[in-house]
Amino acid sequence: MQIWGLRRDGREFPAVVSFSGWREGGERLVGMIIRDVTARHESEARLCELASLDMLTRLASRGAFMQQLGQLTEAGVPYTLLMIDLDGFKEVNDTLGHAAGDALLCHVAEQIRQACPGAVTAARLGGDEFIILLPGGSAGAGLTAERLIAAVQTPFSYHGSPVVVGASTGIAAYPEHGEDASSVMSAADLALYRAKASGKGCSVLFRPEFLAAEQRRRRFERELETAVRQQQFILHYQPRYDAGSGRLLGCEALVRWQHPARGLLLPADFIEMLVKSPLSVTLGEWIIRTALAQVRQWQVRCPELRVSVNLFPRQLSGPGLESVLRESAGGDAAFVDLEVDEPLLTGLVQEAPAHFAAIRRTGAAFVIDHYGRTLGAISLLRHGFVSGFKIDKSLTLELGTSMRVRMMFRAIAALGKSLGLSVAAEGVEDTAQRAFVTTAQCDIMQGNGLCRPLTAAAFEALLHTEDDSMTLTDG
């Protein structure tokens, strides 16, 4: 049995008492042993604490939170969930280290305690995601969310350096937005997703149409997975021309989805979803193999023909790109341009320079896509593996209306030329833009105004038509 003992100094302690009996000399004797179990009690209390608390922030753990949420739901007690995700937390971890990130999470936990004194409980779900359980309906939750977002945005000092992050929140209530704890949690998560998609730093209350949109998205995601496995994709090829002479130089391979019900879909309809999937590597390899095999056939007639392919993030950072290029190019990929967005290149080049060097040894050239859209692109030009860049079409489209853009365009092109890089202009739509691109000394131009993307058969017909001069003609 368990009792409480009393020490000489008056302090109580937990103890376990056990009895035993025996006979001795015709008498029946009883013995009692008292064991101090303070250490065991402390261990049990510690285990209970580990199960119920997040040990970093001292908020409730996910398990304890869900248990309390289930109890309230079973009792039919109305409540509101405020789900929070930090904006910019990864950058803090990457630049200042994980210790700074941990300190920031503790700071946010304290802000939650101060900003939400009426909360039933608050928990850290994991990473930089938190959740708050408020009593009652969602009527006043929006004001609480705004107060919390403002509190989180307050600068936090780490070793004398100010650290600033933002927060996005999703709001959902029981029984208004779900009939059980799981569905209310899902509703808050969908609202949070909408908040982050709306530009971050805001709160969004769940609406039923969010669920319908999510169901459509998941259905489309499954269709996309089927499309990759069943090879429902085709390639179109947009001609690329010498900006000075108009001579056909090559093409850019552009993927299209031949959807069985919706017809031909352009990348804008599916690329954003595909980029997040591991299947992007499978499709990316198919694009390289198909495009290079096709261009190698055309090179029998036009030996100097080049091809540009766009790389997915997972494809560029993965281990198989080098071998795929060598196999598809027949050993030497010197006729291949690998187009990569600047933010992706910036992140990876610092982490794996040897990886880029190995890919570059295949002969393929790295080209920065959409150059001029972000300020960080200029820092990439100091790396020797970059062979050129393509000026973003948003600048090309404003050439006729903005003197400042024309000056920027010339400066960007001159910078590339001074570094010995290949400079391409995309989005050329009319003769005026074509003339300006030429005078700006760009090397390459492409755009729907010159020639729209073509099927493989149509591009081959173009090669036959221009077999002698291979030159773009006016009009």
The CATH number covering residue 428 comes to: 3.20.20.450
Predicted confidence (pLDDT) per residue in 155-171, tens digit: 888 888 888 899 999 99
Question: Which of the four pLDDT bands, split at 50, 70 and 90, describes residue 468?
Answer: very low
Rounded to an integer, what distance in angstroms lies between the CA atom of residue 323 and that of residue 283?
16
Query: Is 442 contained in some domain?
Result: yes
Q: Are residues 280 and 419 in the same domain?
A: yes
Q: Which of 370, 376, 344 is nearest to 427 (CA)?
A: 370
Asked whether residue 58 carries a pLDDT value surpassing 70, the answer given is: yes
How large is the average pLDDT for residues 390-409?
Answer: 94
Please give the residue range of the domain that contains residue 35: 2-43
Asked whether residue 200 carries a pLDDT value surpassing 90, the answer given is: no
Q: Are residues 398 and 355 in the same domain?
A: yes
Rounded to an integer, what distance in angstroms lies between the CA atom of residue 182 and that of residue 130?
16
Query: Is 226 contained in some domain?
Result: no
Q: Are residues 293 and 360 in the same domain?
A: yes
Rounded to an integer, what distance in angstroms lies between the CA atom of residue 133 and that of residue 144?
12
Query: Is 358 contained in some domain?
Result: yes
What is the phi-psi region of residue 64: left when phi exceeds 0, alpha when psi lies from -120 to 50, beta otherwise? alpha
Query: Is 352 contained in some domain?
Result: yes
Asked whether residue 458 carries a pLDDT value surpassing 70, the answer given is: yes
On whether the CB atoms of residues 352 and 346 are closer than 8 A, the answer is no
Asked whether residue 193 carries a pLDDT value surpassing 50, the answer given is: yes
Question: Which of the four pLDDT bands, split at 50, 70 and 90, describes residue 347?
Answer: low
Asked whether residue 49 carries a pLDDT value surpassing 60, the answer given is: no
CATH at 196: 3.30.70.270
Query: Is 109 contained in some domain?
Result: yes
Most confidently predicted of 146-160, 285-299, 365-379 = 285-299
Which range among 39-48, 80-89, 193-202, 251-260 shows the weakest confidence by mean pLDDT? 39-48
Structure token pair of residue 79: 């409540």
Longest distance between any two alpha carbons in the chain, whole Å: 126
Q: How many domains does the chain have?
A: 3
Q: Which of 91, 83, 89, 87 is nearest to 62 (CA)?
A: 83
Asked whether residue 44 carries a pLDDT value surpassing 60, the answer given is: no
Structure token pair of residue 272: 């954003």
Let me know if 128 is a catalytic residue.
yes
Query: Is 225 contained in some domain?
Result: no
Query: Is 475 contained in some domain?
Result: no
Beta strand 121-126 with 444-445 is unpaired
The end-to-end CA distance of the chain, in Å, is 100
User: Using CB atoms within 10 A of its CB, is residue 447 exposed (0-12), middle (13-18) or buried (19+)?
Assistant: buried
Query: Is 212 contained in some domain?
Result: no
Q: Are residues 356 and 456 in the same domain?
A: yes
Residue 379 is given by DSSP the state G
The one catalytic residue in 54, 85, 87, 128 is 128
Q: Are residues 295 and 411 in the same domain?
A: yes
Q: Are residues 153 and 240 in the same domain?
A: no
> How distant is the alpha carbon of residue 175 from its chain centre?
32
How large is the average pLDDT for residues 145-153?
Answer: 92
Beta strand 161-163 with 263-265 is unpaired
Question: Which of the four pLDDT bands, split at 50, 70 and 90, describes residue 469?
Answer: very low
Helix (H, G, I), strand (E, B), or coil: what is residue 468?
A: coil
Helix (H, G, I), strand (E, B), or coil: what is residue 314?
A: helix
Q: Are residues 65 and 36 in the same domain?
A: no
Asked whether residue 305 carries a pLDDT value surpassing 90, the answer given is: yes
Structure token pair of residue 424: 């391409």
Rounded to an integer, what distance in angstroms lies between the CA atom of residue 57 and that of residue 408?
49
Percent of the chain scored above 90 by pLDDT?
A: 63
Residue 174 bridge partners (DSSP): 79
Question: Which of the four pLDDT bands, split at 50, 70 and 90, describes residue 25?
Answer: confident
Structure token pair of residue 97: 């280290």
Rounded to an integer, what distance in angstroms lies between the CA atom of residue 98 and that of residue 101?
5
Q: Are residues 284 and 432 in the same domain?
A: yes
Q: Are residues 96 and 170 in the same domain?
A: yes
Q: Are residues 324 and 237 in the same domain?
A: yes
pTM of the predicted model, to two decimals?
A: 0.70
Q: Are residues 274 and 193 in the same domain?
A: no
Q: Are residues 19 and 126 in the same domain?
A: no
